[in-house]
Each structure stands twice: as C-alpha cells, then as structure tokens.
Structure 1
Amino acid sequence: MDRDLTAARDLAAELAVRAGRLQLDRRSTLRMGAPKAHANDVVSDVDIASEQLIVDAVHAAWPADAIQAEEGHGRTGSSGWSWVIDPLDGTRNYVSRTGPWSVCIALYEGDRPRVAVVHEPVAGETFSAVDGGGAFLNGEPLPAPGGSTLDKALVGVSFQPNPATKERAGRVIRELLPVSGDIRRVPAALNLVYQAAGRLDGGLALDTNLWDIAAGALIAREAGVVLGGHGAEFTTELTIGAAPKLWDELAEKVRQAVNDRT
C-alpha cells in the first residue's frame, strides 16, 4: 500500500506541535495519576489528553492503521502501517519543571520506520525525518554530526528509573564519567535527536520502550548517527548512538560496563 510519507510527516509534526502547546497551556493545572510500573513511572492527565489528541487525529486520517501508544489508546489495524506514539517523553521533567521533554510520533511500515517527529515544546524545536530523505530541524536539513574523541565527548544517558535499571545505569556512568568529556541525563528521544543535531557526540539508552526511541532513532540514523546495541542492531534493552568517529570507542566502553556484573 502506497503512502505519501511527506504528508504523514507533516501531519505528525502538526499534531506534535498541538500536543506541545496543550502541555505548555496546562502545565500549571495538571493532575497526577497513580504511578504505573513503579513509583518513578509517573503519569499526568496532560499525558493522557495529549495522547488522545494525537490518536484521534491519526485515526481520522488513516482509520486502517494500527496505533501503539504509551498511555493505552492503541488500536489494531489492517493496513500494514502502524503509528508509535509517546505523547510526553520525560513526564518527570515536565511535572517537576527540572528539564526538557518531547512529543514523539513515528510511523512504521511493517517493521520498518518510515516517518519520525520529535517536538520539544519549550524551545519550539521540531526534529523530523522521512526514511531515506535525511533529518531536519524546523524544516532545515541537519548536517552530518562531526563527533569527538571520548575524552572530549559529551555523552547523553537515558534509562528507565526502576531499581534494576538504575543499578545498571550506575555502572555505566561510573565507567564513562572519568573517561568522557562529560555526561548529561536526558529523556531518550531527545538524547537521540540531540545526537542528530551534534549537540551530543554520543549517547546510550537502557531499558526503554519502543515509543521512547522509535522516532528519535530514525531521525538520528537519517542524520548520520551510528546506532547499535549489544550487536549491530539497537534494541529497547540497549541503544548506543554516536558520531562515526566516536562509535567504536564509545560502544566498547558502554558494552563492557553494561555486561560487567561486579
């Protein structure tokens, strides 16, 4: 089934901006819900309203598409296309006012990502990509990332804040911090698109969900970021990204730290 990917990208960007505006408008009146998987897995009524806004519009445009969405508004489909939506990646940053967050929308054809949008509402930045068409920031092409050596590199770190993952993340940070230029903890989608924009030289994400990384990964790949995990393919368990000149050095360090059980 043919699909106008540019039109899909444009709609996703429009919806991400609308959801981001809703988040800014309702930030002072948000209401928290019960934690989900663990005490640090928080959700607000704004997460849910943002997801509903996106899902309703996507379903109206392509009613046969499947939808996988973090807050439970998913649908089965029959078209072979599926949307992967994180309406608010970085909820804890959002509710605590301590850091950035984003709206993430990706479109898959089967198992292949074809369209991606990550919107950061406060900065008004919309990162996007169409499979094979390069990566963009607010409509302008992103240049290939230059990168750095590890001792000078700024490395992003993202992880789910459950006890087991925090323990693994602690091992990675303990190994990386002394040998890298510095590290930053950022939500997974922004970790990836900041690599695409050259703001981070590399990064890693531990124990994510597909909606956390689907959009950011396509944008990073289209910008020239090298992606992998324990092997050549990245997974939700481990995603490593880096500019090409940093890739071997960073990937080796991260894999050693993640696999170290001492």
Structure 2
Amino acid sequence: MTLKAIQDQAVIIETLAREAGALALSHFETLATVSVESKGHLDLVTAADQEVERFVTKRLARDFPDDGIFGEEGAAHQGNSGRTWVIDPIDGTFNFVRGGDQWAVSIGLYEGERPTFGVIHAPVRAQTLVGGRGLPSTLNGKPMAPRAGLDVNRAACGVGFHPDIPVERRLQTLRFVLEDARMSFRCCGSATISLIEVALGQVDGYLGMGESTWDLMAALPILEQIGIVSTVNWDTIDLTAKLRFACGTPEFLTAVEPIVPFGATLDDVL
C-alpha cells in the first residue's frame, strides 16, 4: 500500500472505532436495560457486544469487501486479499456490565500472519490510539513518546487471567512478579486497557494468560512503534489461539523471561 492509502485506511478505521464506541456508550448509559448472557464462569456477553460487532462488521464489509473478518462474538468472513480485520467489540465486558470505565473497542488488522495496524477507542476514558506499520502511534491525534528501560525500584506489571486459568497458576504468576521480579502489579480486567497503560508508561509491561488474539491484535502494532515488544510467536499460532504472553520494553521481557519466555503457550498451564 502507498503511504496515502495507509493514512486513508487509518482515518476510516479510526472513524469506525469512534462510531462503534458511541454505540457501545449508548448502551452503557442505559445498563439496566441491556441483556447479559454468560459464556462461562465470569465470562459475559451483552446485547451491546453483539450489536457493536454487527455494526463494525457491516462497515468493514462495505469499505474493504475483499478482506476477511474475525470477531469475538462470532463474526467470520473469509476474504481473498490476505488481510483479516480482527474485532473485539467491547474488551472488558465484565467491567462494562459493572459500570466501570475500563473497556474499549478494538479493531486490528492481521496481514501476512502478523498484526500490522490497529485502532483502540476507550469512550469513557476519552482515549483513542492509532498506529501500525508506516504510521506513527498516536493518542488522541498526538504522537506517543517511545518507551524504554525498566526502573527496578518502581517497576509495575499489569496482569490478566482468563477465568479458566487454574487458581494455583495465577498465584504462581503473582508470586513471581512480587518475589522474583520484585514488581508491583495491576489487574484491571481488560487486556486492551492494560496495554494502553503499557503504552502510556503507567505500567512497564503486561503478563496475559488465556487471552485471545482479538484482545491484542489492535494494540500490538501501536505498541511496536514506540519500542514495546511481545513474546507472541505468530509463526506458531493462528487467529483461534489462546495465548500466554508478555508485552513490554525489552528490559521488562528480560525480567519476566523465566515465567513467560518467547513463544510460551498455555499447554503447560491448563
């Protein structure tokens, strides 16, 4: 793609994410009337998730008819361009249902078996992040500063666990963070929001156990442009994978390598 085509695509997807966020926010403001179903223990889906995904899917199919689509709530379209849009309509649904602000719309592009571009919009927090190959990463339209280093005297780590992860494995992870890595930890209930916090330097990195590809597809390309790397080995997984990964500055990844090395999987956890 030409630079202009990349920039035009970014404008289209940012506009779409903002409109999807406004739709989600309209449900958020009338939570008492929103239907909620369970996909598993502490794993919820709402009518808002489903409506937002339908909205985003319809627009992507119109604007990028040759591209594939893959969404958390079941959207699936096999394109012929080698590109797939990966949607998390509301990442942090549990927070959404409880009236919290830690949720976001996430739209990422998977191309060449890699995340290459993404937009995240967190409506309640008024944060919109855009970035990817050929584009600077921005927060609300302003360039984001590169992240580097790790101050061991005040290091902080975001953590996230899927409800299916055994309690003992969660405790082992937290024990490593606190005792071995000697970091404080934060757990907000949304991988996307946690990765925003990494981007803003509010935490040094993130440890995720049980996340899906839609949880990080938009965030990783944004983070890569500001010096943040991850342990995900895209050569060994597909879009349906459940992940065990770390994301942060290179120094952060070195600090957590004993518990989450490059290419780590969930095979030895579940």
Which residue identity lines up with residue 240 of structure 1 in the other structure?
A
CA distance in 2, matches of 1:260, 1:152: 31
- Counterparts of 1:51-90 in structure 2 under 5 Å? 51-90=53-92
What does the per-residue CA deviation read over 1:213-244, in whole Å, with 9 as the maximum and x for residues that have no partner?
11111111111012115899998422211223
SS in 2 for 1:82: strand
C-alpha deviation, 1:105, in angstroms? 0.3
- Report the counterpart of residue 215 of structure 1 in structure 2: 218
CA distance in 2, matches of 1:10, 1:246: 32
- Maintained 8 Å contact 1:89/1:101: yes
**Going by fraction, where is helix more abundant, 1 or 2?**
1
Aligned pair count reads: 258
- Maintained 8 Å contact 1:147/1:242: no
Instruction: Using structure 2 for the length normalisation, give the TM-score.
Output: 0.85
C-alpha deviation, 1:260, in angstroms? 8.9
SS in 2 for 1:223: coil
- Report the counterpart of residue 21 of structure 1 in structure 2: 22
- Counterparts of 1:15-164 in structure 2 under 5 Å? 15-27=16-28, 28-29=30-31, 30-36=33-39, 38-164=40-166
SS in 1 for 2:171: helix
- Maintained 8 Å contact 2:109/2:116: yes
- Report the counterpart of residue 243 of structure 1 in structure 2: 249
1:225 aligned to 223, 228, 236, which one?
Answer: 228
- Report the counterpart of residue 9 of structure 1 in structure 2: 10
CA distance in 1, matches of 2:245, 2:5: 29
Which residue identity lines up with residue 52 of structure 1 in the other structure?
R
- Counterparts of 1:171-190 in structure 2 under 5 Å? 171-178=172-179, 179-186=181-188, 187-190=190-193
CA distance in 2, matches of 1:226, 1:112: 13
What does the per-residue CA deviation read over 1:184-210, in whole Å, with 9 as the maximum and x for residues that have no partner?
113112222321221211111111111
Q: RMSD across aligned C-alpha pairs, in angstroms?
A: 2.7
C-alpha deviation, 1:168, in angstroms? 2.2
**Going by fraction, where is strand more abundant, 1 or 2?**
2
Q: 1:226 to 1:112 in 2, by over 3 A?
A: closer
- Report the counterpart of residue 258 of structure 2 in structure 1: 252
Q: 1:42 to 1:259 in 2, by over 3 A?
A: closer
Q: 1:173 to 1:259 in 2, by over 3 A?
A: farther
SS in 2 for 1:63: coil
C-alpha deviation, 1:10, in angstroms? 1.4
CA distance in 1, matches of 2:205, 2:165: 25
Instruction: Using structure 1 for the length normalisation, give the TM-score.
Output: 0.87
C-alpha deviation, 1:45, in angstroms? 0.3
Q: 1:222 to 1:72 in 2, by over 3 A?
A: same
CA distance in 1, matches of 2:236, 2:47: 35
| Structure 1, gaps ≥5 residues long | none
Q: 1:167 to 1:214 in 2, by over 3 A?
A: farther
| Structure 2, gaps ≥5 residues long | none
